[in-house]
Structures are given as structure tokens and as C-alpha cells.
Structure 1
Amino acid sequence: MPELQLDGLVGPSHNYAGLSLGNLAATANAGAVSAPRTAALQGLAKMRLVCGLGLPQGLLLPHDRPNLSLLRGLGFAGADPEVLKTAFAEDPALVALAWSASAMWTANAATVSPAADSADGRTHLSVANLATMPHRAQEWPATLAQLRLAFQDTRHFVVHPPVPPSFGDEGAANHMRLAPSHGAPGVEVFVYGENRGGRFPARQHARASAAVARRHRLSRFLLAAQADVAIEAGAFHNDVVAVANGPVLMAHEQAFADRNRLIDRLAREVPGFCLIEAPASELSLEDAVSSYLFNACLLSVEGGMALVLPREAETNASVWRWLQRVVQDPANPIHTLHVRDLRESMRNGGGPACLRLRVQLGEAALAAVDQRFLLDEAGLDKLERLIEAWWPKTIAPADLGNPDLMDQCRAARTALLDALGIAPAELGEV
């Protein structure tokens, strides 16, 4: 069974506003000058690698930014340029929120359960509400519209709206699936946080996770608490300290609050379960978080598994030394490391796994996906040319109040939709 990798295309409004409390990289780079064109091209290079590995590759689109409907809803009035300039003069932080390009991290777009796990034999996708962070809570309507367009064939897919915002849901970034193979029934692990009294918020609520499991009609799933110490170290999502693929769980020793219970349960319920664990004595949480080691894409490829890693994992001596031991160990299937430069995304707090949503599909279901969301080498070439022509080279914080930047970003997104043959009305846009 193929696994479709749906990557978020980095949008033309990519900027460093430091909006994500608890995301250490994002807050550390707040106010820096971003490079949207470079960021998008780096993301495309990662997608091209995945295509070259023989895996299905698709994309989700950047959202329309700035989100002036948000500003109008908060009382700013007038023509679009006036709304932007007035709001920026009064509340620049609010305008930065309206410019957020964080929808590029599609690991937060939704939670996906394949047909093999659900009682009705269909693939279920629940759009995340992202209610914990205001800059992300605005994303779900546009994400829902895209997923309903891409997965509109109800013979194969069910696309659910978000769970109520009373309970924060951050999508696949806090969800893992373990199974003997992509096509076999598996155990889905929903990781939630608490971190009572900590500096940083826990973003995934246990009730949201349970609700998604019920909606997806799952019979085999686990709820597991993320360790407070991991959240405090900057693991704002579970995918910063753990990644799973097939029967393999690769994780930091301090990722989970009750590590032994979770591992024992997976060992009993997942045939061929394989744990690849980084001991805290060998690899600190700080190194794991700063390098985004566990935010790698763990992929099933010919002959075993491969990891797609950010350059930061290679340049961290402790991380790279541990990875060399992993690939040299014949007891696990990971045999190849692919390192890619994703610095622009990394500086804003998202690594390789943040950029992709995994959708495990049978051949018939894959053929039923709207083909405009799927990519091949020719499609990647076309996107590369489009980005080089339309995406801004740089964005500084002061630029967010400039209507000229708004016009440029709107024109870039229009050019993208035209190139893909997607009409704004298909996405519910006027």
C-alpha cells in the first residue's frame, strides 16, 4: 500500500513573527528577515527527493494571506489597503498573526486514519482546530476546504470538520500509527499533553484525541501522555521527540510520561514491533529538540526504511553519532539517511515531518485523489519556475504593513492556483 506524502507548499507570506509560544526556534528568530522564495524552494527540493524515492508526493496550498477577514472581524474597516495600514499602525502583532504562513506545516492540518483501521473501510481525515494558538486557529476553514476538494470521493474518504475548540487538537503532529505494514490493521497512538504549571502550553487535549478516534471508528488505539519534561524542553508537539513508521517507533527516552506502559502495550499488540530509542544519557532532550532529529520523515522504501533529516541533525555531533549507530544496527530496518537543507522552515520552528501529512491509501483510493494535488517531476519543475517568478525574496517585520506586499502575495497565490487549474470558488473563496 502506498503512503502519500502531502507537503505544505511554503507560502509567499512566510515570515518570522515568533507567534508560537513553546516553539523555541520560532521565538528565537522573531523579528528576523525571512526568505519566502528560498523557503519554498527548499521545501520543493525535499518533495523532489521523496518523488525520487518512488513514493507518491502531493501538496497542500498556502492559505490566502494576509487574512483581512480576521482584521475586519476585529473592527478594522475600509478598503483593503486601509484595513492593513490602520491595523498595523495600531497593533503590529495582530497584523503579524493575520500574515501567518504556518499552514505550510501540514502535520497540523489533520489526523488521518487509513481504511485498514476504520470500521467502515474508508480513510478518515479530521481537520485540526489548532485552538491553542490564535495564529493557527484561523487555519481550519481553508484546510477543510482543500481536504474536501482533494479527497471528495466518498467511496474512499470521509473528511471531518474540527472537534469543538474547547479542546485543542493539533492533528497528526501528535498522532502515530504502528502496524506490520501500511496496508495491515494497526494501532493508532494519540499523544496528548498536560504540563500543569509549566512555562509552555500543552497543545493536544486528551478529549480531542479520544473524539477523533471515535469519529474515525477505530477499534485499536491508545492515548499516551507526552512527558512534561519534553514539553518544557521545547517539544511543543510529539513529533519533535518521536516518529513511527510501520512497526518501528523511533523516540527519545524522555518522550512519554509513562514510557514503559506504552512500550509494553505496543510490543504486545504490534507484530514485529521495533523500538529505536535514544537514551537521555547519550542524547539530551535539548539536542533532540534543537536538531529536529525526531522530526525526520521515516519512510518505507525498497529494502527497508530511510530517514529524511534536516541539516541541523548532521551538524550536531551527538545526534549524528547516534544516527550512525542506528543505521549500522542490523536489528532495525533503517538503512539510509537523506539530509536536506530546510533552514528557512527550521528557523520558524518546523522540520521535515512538520511539512508533511501522511495518507496511507490503497491503489484505488490513491487514484481517487484529486490529481491536481499530486506531483511528479514535471509538476515540481513548474512549481519551481513559478516560485522563482512570484514569491518575495525577503520579508522584514516592517513590510507586513505595506499594501504592496499584500498585492504581491495575492498575485503569487493567484498564479499558483492558475498553474494548478484550481478555481478559487472550488476552495470556497470569492
Structure 2
Amino acid sequence: MEWIPSDLTGASCMDPFVVFQSFNHLATCFSIFGLPQHADSTGPTSTAKDGYRVNVNSTFGTLVGDCLRQYCEVPDPELEGCDLESYTPSDYYRIFTRPSQEFETTTCKSVDNDVNQDIGGVGVLLSFAMQSGILLYVHLAVLILKLIPTVTRCIRRCTKRARSTTKIQFGQHHFSVLKSMLVEFQEAQCFFMLSFQCAALIALAAGPQVFEATSLLQLQSNISMAKAVAFMGILPITYGLWILHRIGLHSWYISVWSAITIVTSSVTLHLCKVEPRADNLQQIATADRLDKCGFYPPPLIYCRSDSELGSSYSLVNNLTFGLSDNTANFVCIAIYGLLLLKRLAPYPKRWLGQKSWFQTTYHRVHPWLVSRGIRILSRTVDVIIETLLLITNFFYSFMVVVRSLPTISLDSWSFGQIIAVTIWSPIVSKYLYWLL
């Protein structure tokens, strides 16, 4: 949201009721009393920031400082922002108007940035780590089990046939168990992520106010987590569907539910692209005693940072080495489209096989489709996609966990968080039972 200067004078900017009424008023007063400020972002993006700074000992700086000191006498537990420990006090208060609205002071680093647990609590985070871990395990197990026949042929040359037969039978049994488990897992993650996305869509339809954030920093954390949750319904679903295709279990039932989940998650991801604004913030409970702030919240509510964990970052953007969220989303959709084409490939011959024009076209095209070059190209594309999904899923899940830990309260367990973790228990326990 672009900053629009207010029609204020130096005299009116000495009235706390006027100054702290809105970000526009605060920024206008900074522009009157302060000096231009230019800074380069230190976060994942290199966007330059423009604004103004005022000395903390100046007349206007003293007015801002009085407001902050009064607030910190009894800080709001939902906002915080009064901890100076291990931080060197700054000689300036800064406000940035481009590319986004931001107030900057030393204590901004202690502003609460915890994510709303209804969006991304500790249970949700742990559940996603388990979801990605199960997919990685299944994929690696499939790759290893496919090597067993080759290995056993070598073993036969050196050992008794009975021992190699035992190894083959174990590999076949394990592979059967793994396939059955993966089908159930794909169904479970589709319905589980659909419930998440539907809840997120209902919440986002009500606007960013639903995050119950008290600062722009906290609102940024919630929006970033909502993006991560949305992408949880895109990347793991595509990855699981690809593994099913590789082992020959890509049914229409699984394909349809996977498509519904990916589309719903893509809509959620699109709705998460909102710019944090002050009018989306929840009022703090202590504002009515802050006469030196004009009975408004302190400017700490405008704190936001692109250099601290859990603040202004895009998990998907970091993961994809600068690619936009939309690009990463479209890549997953393209992979699903490729799987759909492979699934549809036999049907034209079944439906149109008796048509003379189709037979003529088929006999012309078929030798080219089964040529050595096309087969090599197809296998190369498969290997690239498979490697990309494996590596991306691992690094994405790792990044979500690492980057989200500073914004998650680890003791905020609730019924919903417990359910999010135990959702995978039936599948894992059934797999272990069948395996043993």
C-alpha cells in the first residue's frame, strides 16, 4: 500500500493524538522533522527501502521516545517489543515508506512474531515434517527394492540359491507392503491437506484480520506460514503421485483427489499474496492508558524486518533459488499435467483404433514415438523430475521447520495440534505390522 502524505504541520506533529493516529500521520511527521533515509534490504530480497530518520534526542524524537517508554512500563503481552538486552541502542528512529510501511528501532527485534497456532502450530509443523519424511522414506525404499533383483543375481553366483531366493521373497513382500501403504498414504494426505486448505480459505475470505496479529511483523509471519501450509498441499501431493506412477499404481481415483487438492491449495496460495497493512491489525489491550501515544498503540506495531527469522520471507522463494511462488506452483501443476497425459495415452487407441484415419496416423507416428532417441529423452525427463521432486521435498520440509521454529510456541499443544500429528499413525503402524 503506497504511503499518502497527510496535510499536517510541524505544530500538529507535536500532538501525540495526531502523530500516532495512523501510519500516514506518523510518516508525514517524520518527513517534516527528519532526514531522508535509504537502506538496502538484508533479507532474501535486495529491495531498497526509502524513508526518513529522526534523532532520538530531537524534539520530535523525544515525543516518540516518551510514547515508547510509557508503553514499556506495562508492555502488552501480545505485542512485547521492550527488550533491549544484548542490543545496542540506536541513535535514530527510522520510518520507511517504500516499498512497504515500516517503523524501525532497536526494540523492534523483540516484538512478538509468533504465528497463530490455528494456522501453524507445533503440531502442524511436526505433522508436515512427518509427511515429508514418510514420502522420502518410501521413495528411497522403492529405489532400493528395485535394485534387489539385480543384486540377487550377483549373489547367486557366490552363494546358495536358497539364500538368494529368500532375499527375493523378502524384497517382493516388502515392495507389496510399500505399495499398499503408499496408496493409503496418498489418500490420507489428500484429505488431510484438503481440510487444511478449506479452513485456510474460509479464514482468508474473512481477511487478514483473522490472524489476530498485533504488529506488521506478526502479520508477516502468519502470512508466510499460510503460504507454507498452502504449498504443503501442492509439493508433497505431486511428489506422492509421481511415486505412485513410478510403481504402476496411478489410479483415476487417486489422480482426481490429487488434482482437487492441488487446485485448492493453489487457490489458497494465491489468496495469501496480501501485503500486511496496519488496518489489518488487532488493537492491543493497553492502548487506552497510553496518553503519551494519544491513546493509540505505539509505533512498534509497524515493526517488520526482512533480516530476522520468522519475518518477511517467502519460504517457497528461498527454496526455489529466487523463483516466484507462482513459478514453483506452475512447475508442480505441469508435472501433474505430464502424469495426466501419460495416464490418458492409451485411451485414443482404445476409442479410435477402428478409425482408418487414426490407424494411418498411428502407423506414421508410432515408430517415431518408440525410437531410441525418444525413449532416452523420456527417461532423462523422468530422472530429472524425480530428482527434482526428491531434493525439493527434502529441502523444503527442512526449510519450513528451521525457518518456522522461531515463530512457533513449542508448548502450544491443543486438540487440533495433536490430531495433526496422529493423523499418520494408522498408516505407519499398519505398515510396520504388515512388514513384520
TM-score w.r.t. structure 1 length? 0.22
More strand by percentage: 1
Q: Highest CA radius of gyration, 1 or 2?
A: 2
